Chain A
């Protein structure tokens, strides 16, 4: 039998109960649309968290001394030849094309003091030009400016530190830390800019200074603690890590360096993303069940009202299996067409928010914008949805599979009908 006959029959039957079909279609459209948009928003949220996290931390990928992550000591830094090898590998065309930013950083735990007092400080020595492509702090300047390449003895400080130490633009600030010879060394710098990040641990402790100043101050030359690498989005991280580990096999084998993804470098952030993802999956599961119940209801009701018709079809020569196929195709058509509409609408909605993003503060109020910090990372309340063709096709596939599964029982009922009984005339 021609499949077109079954499809035509299924389409006509769907049109017969227009109101019931439309109501179920609406439920599927809304469900599919919400699934795809929520997925895009969820992925965008996670990407935002990751982006904010890696910019405040050590990048999507970090190349560092194996002991540095735990010790945070100056002595556990990358040697000059390892740094050169890493930067050489990152500059090769195969890797450079995938990278959006590289910043060599020297992390120093020390003290910042002024005439007003002293505070613990997290001092980050950077190449200002490279760091501007990397950090978000240069966009959070409230006074002065970010560091420049030709700056000497300049410091860019958090607003909390500025207030505690009673600093102003141009104020002198003394940084003290253990140098490469494990002696206490001090360095005088002047404040050239102040930032407000929103996360107290950042605003109260972080100081950026030029890498060259730190090299002279601590006797570490051009050595760095780590080389932080940014990519376009987090989905590219695992392949980059794999390729970097291949390219830096010698220093890695010698225990002079390690290559870590953001998940390894920031396990708390990775856990947070994973927990949120699982939460989303639970919600998606509930949505799937609601959609499935809608389909079962429509298709089963339709089957129960059409006993006689299925009897006629079998009397005319349809096999029980073909009769079941009519029902199955009805369910599949309803699901597919509705899902395509839902996915189309949600794709449009996603596209609409791609430009300016979705401002969560509109929903939760201004308080959200001031409180979205997770530890030392402030999360931008503007979420840009992340559209993924693979993710969308996956959702489409799942809903269609669910449409088939939800239609199996009604199809079974139609196939198992007692033909003679179903056509008894209602006397």
Chain B
């Protein structure tokens, strides 16, 4: 998979997200301007409450900015109506969540195929892509298990397969290793690294896990909703 690099970058311009909490104003994201190039493996790091998850949600169109702009490719997200935001997420963005968030009523295979079902990908193609990713992630033989019958690491691998099988340009991962032991975390990071290199998928993580930060080729540190540092590694 090779996304059209010229059209799949992510840009935020003077982005603000302010919540009203009781009578208090919470500035979750403050004036963030950031460009993420296609194929990057970027970590947004920072302590709890630093605005990582909110920035990820803004980039994924799950929440709307108070001020500023978010662009994913040609799309300015803050002006898109809900149904077009949903379509953009379906076609261009994959999500990985800290709590895995697999659909409990579907099997591992059905979860992995779900976004492709929504996209209208043919049954043969869905099977081919999912089989390949299950083999690659060592999940063979677990396709028919429901999430409740999988370990945390296995569930998160299914979540990764679900996020990349629909061939998005961008995968947003919110604390993907937070609930995993170190072995599972390493295996998962290795997998995402491979997918990033082999498929060219852009990965953006929100994390405070040192292992994720070590692997990231770009590390953006956030403090109190603003970017504190932005470091690119070779």
Chain A positions near chain B (C-beta within 8 angstroms):
1-2, 5, 9, 12-13, 15-16, 308-309, 311-322, 418-420, 423, 425-426
B114 on interface, CB distance cutoff 8 Å = yes
Residues of A within 8 A of B97 (CB): 312, 423, 425
Q: Which of B67-75, B86-94, B150-158, B207-215 contacts A (4 or more CB under 8 A)?
A: B86-94
Q: Is B139 an interface residue (CB 8 A)?
A: no
State A318–B99 Cα separation when bound (angstroms).
20
Q: In the complex, how many angstroms separate the beta carbon of A107 from the nearest chain B beta carbon?
A: 73
Interface core residue of A1, A13, A317, A426 (most chain B CB under 10 Å): A317
Which of B8-16, B101-109, B187-195 is the interface stretch? B101-109
Residue of B57, B91, B119 near A420 (CB, 8 A) is B57
Question: Which of B104, B115, B174 is A16 in contact with, Cβ under 8 Å?
Answer: B104
Is the pair B99, A425 in contact by a Cβ cutoff of 8 Å?
A: yes
B86 x A317 contact (CB < 8 A): yes
Contact status B86-A314, CB under 8 Å: yes
Those of B53-92 within 8 Å (CB) of chain A? 54, 57, 60, 62-63, 82-83, 86-87, 89-91
Instruction: Kindly identify which residue among B63, B105, B114, B120 contacts A316, using a CB–CB cutoff of 8 Å.
Output: B114
Q: How far is the CA of A216 from the CA of B19 in the complex (A)?
A: 103
Query: Is the CB of B175 closer than 8 A to any CB of chain A?
Result: yes
Q: Which residues of B contact A (CB under 8 A)?
A: 54, 57, 60, 62-63, 82-83, 86-87, 89-91, 95, 97-99, 101, 103-106, 114-115, 117-120, 162, 174-175, 178
For A12, give its contact among B63, B101, B105 (CB under 8 Å): B105
Pair A318/B103 contact, Cβ less than 8 Å: no
Please give me the residue from chain B that is nearest to A313 by CB atom. Answer: B103
Given contacts A321-B83, A420-B57, A420-B63, whether A12 and B106 have CB atoms under 8 Å apart is yes
Q: How far is the CA of A419 from the CA of B93 in the complex (A)?
A: 15
Q: Is A317 within 8 A of B103, CB to CB?
A: no
B62 touches A420 (CB 8 A): yes
The smallest C-beta distance from A303 to any residue of chain B, in angstroms, reads 15
Task: From B60, B87, B99, name the one whose CB has the most chain A CB atoms within 10 angstroms.
Answer: B99
Docked pose: A313 CA to B62 CA in angstroms: 12
Nearest to B168 among chain A residues (CB) is A317
Are the CB atoms of A320 and B89 closer together than 8 Å?
no
Contact yes or no, A315 B83, CB < 8 A: no
Known contacts A12-B106, A309-B103, A423-B101; A316/B57 CB under 8 A: no
Given contacts A309-B101, A317-B118, A319-B86, 11 further A-B contacts (CB under 8 A): A1-B118, A311-B101, A316-B115, A317-B87, A319-B87, A420-B57, A423-B99, A425-B174, A425-B175, A425-B178, A426-B99
A-B contact pairs, 12 of them (CB 8 A): A9-B103, A12-B105, A309-B103, A309-B104, A314-B86, A315-B60, A315-B89, A321-B83, A420-B57, A420-B62, A425-B97, A425-B98
B82 pairs with A316, CB closer than 8 A: no
Query: Which residue in B87, B95, B119 is a CB contact (below 8 Å) of A315?
Result: B95
Listed residue (A13, A15, A314) with the most chain B CB atoms within 10 angstroms of its CB: A314
Q: Do residues A317 and B89 form an inter-chain contact, with CB atoms below 8 A?
A: yes
* Nearest CB of B to A133, in Å: 64
Q: Inside 8 A of A426's CB, which chain B residues have their CB?
A: 99
The answer to whether A320 and B175 touch (CB under 8 A), given A2-B120, A423-B97, is no
Chain A residue at minimum C-beta to C-beta distance from B56: A420
Chain B residues near A321 (CB, 8 Å)? Answer: 83
In the assembly, what is the distance between CA of A250 and CA of B204, in Å?
A: 92
- CB neighbours (8 Å) of A13 from chain B are 105
Of chain A, the residue at the smallest CB distance from B94 is: A316
Chain B's closest residue to A418 (CB) is B63
Given contacts A423-B101, A425-B99, are A316 and B118 in contact (CB under 8 A)? Answer: yes
Taking CB atoms, residues of chain A closer than 8 Å to B95 are 315-316
> Is the Cβ of A319 less than 8 Å from the Cβ of B63?
no
Chain A residue, CB-CB nearest to B159: A312
For residue A5, which residue of chain B has the nearest CB? B117
Across the interface, do B63 and A317 meet the contact criterion of CB distance under 8 Å?
no
Which of B83, B95, B103 counts the most chain A CB atoms within 10 A? Answer: B103
Pairwise interchain contact B101-A319, C-beta atoms closer than 8 A: no
Q: Closest 9 CB pairs between A and B?
A: A317-B90, A12-B105, A420-B63, A319-B86, A319-B83, A420-B57, A420-B62, A312-B101, A419-B62
- B101 closest partner in A (C-beta): A312
Contacts of A419 in B (CB 8 A): 62-63
Min CB–CB distance A310 → chain B (angstroms): 10
Which residues in A have their C-beta under 8 angstroms from that of B90? 316-317
Interchain nearest-CB distance for B76 vs A (Å) = 19
Contacts of A12 in B (CB 8 A): 105-106
Tell me the minimal C-beta distance from B146 to chain A in angstroms.
Answer: 10
Closest chain B CB from A318 CB (angstroms) = 6
Contact A320 B117 (CB under 8 A): no
Could you say which of A1, A9, A420 has the most chain B C-beta atoms within 10 Å of its C-beta? A420
A309 closest partner in B (C-beta):
B103
A73 to B128, CA, bound (A): 93
| CA–CA, A317 and B57, complex, Å | 14
| A314 neighbours in B (Cβ, 8 Å) | 62, 86, 89
> Which residue of chain A has its CB nearest to the CB of B113?
A5
Residues of B within 8 A of A318 (CB): 86, 118
- Chain B: minimal CB distance from A423 (Å): 6
**Contact partners of A1 in chain B: CB under 8 A:** 117-118, 120
* B106 proximity list for chain A (CB < 8 A): 9, 12
